[in-house]
Amino acid sequence: MTVVEEERVANERSASHRLGSVQGHVVIQRDRVQGHNRLYRDYFAEEPVYGPRLFRRRFQMHRPLFLRIASVVEDFDPYFVQRRNAAGNLGLPSLQKITAAMRMLAYRVSADFVDDYVLIGESTTIESVKSFVKVVVAIFVDDYLRSPNNDDIKKIARDW
C-alpha cells in the first residue's frame, strides 16, 4: 500500500510541473504500480493466476530459473534495484525491468510490444535489455555461455 500511496502523491506533485526531460516530448503516465502488481499476481505470487506450465511457455524457462537469474542480476547491477529517481518518484521494480528484457529477447519482439503488459516505456525497455545482457554475460559467461563440450552434447542429446 505504501508504494501505491507514494506513486499517487508523486503523480499529484508532478501534475503541476512540466513533465519529461525534453520540451515537447510526450510523456505517457503509466500505472507502474498496477503493472507490477498484475505481473506479480499473475506469475510470481505464492498461488499465481498462471501456473508453472503457462509460466514455462510464456517465459521460455521455469519459474525457479527465472527467479535465480533475476536475483543474481539484481545483486550484480544496481540498475535493477528499485530506487527513487531525481524527481523523488519511485522507480520501476527489478521484476518489471527483467521481465521486459527477457520477453523482448525470448520472443524477439520490439521494445514497444512489451509495454502493453509490463507497463514500461520503450526507452526503459531498451535500457533494461542492454543492462540485462551485459550483466548476464559478465556473470554467466564461464558456466553457460561457452561452447559445449562432449559431456554437454551428451546431456543435450539425452534430454531431447
DSSP character string of 24-55: T-------HHHHHHHHIIIIISSS-SS-HHHH
Residue 130: give the domain boundaries.
Answer: 2-159
The number of distinct structural domains making up the chain is: 1
Predicted local distance difference test score (pLDDT) of residue 8: 64
15: left (phi over 0), alpha (psi -120 to 50) or beta: alpha
Q: What residue type is 3 in one-letter code?
A: V
pLDDT tier at 49, thresholds 50, 70, 90? very high
- Summarised one tens digit per residue, pLDDT across range 87-124 is 788 888 899 999 999 988 888 888 878 777 777 888 88
Burial bucket for residue 132 (CB in 10 Å: 0-12, 13-18, 19+):
buried
Q: For residues 90, 24, 98 and 57, what is the CA-based torsion angle, rounded to 10 degrees?
A: 130
Lowest mean pLDDT among 26-40, 49-63, 70-84: 26-40
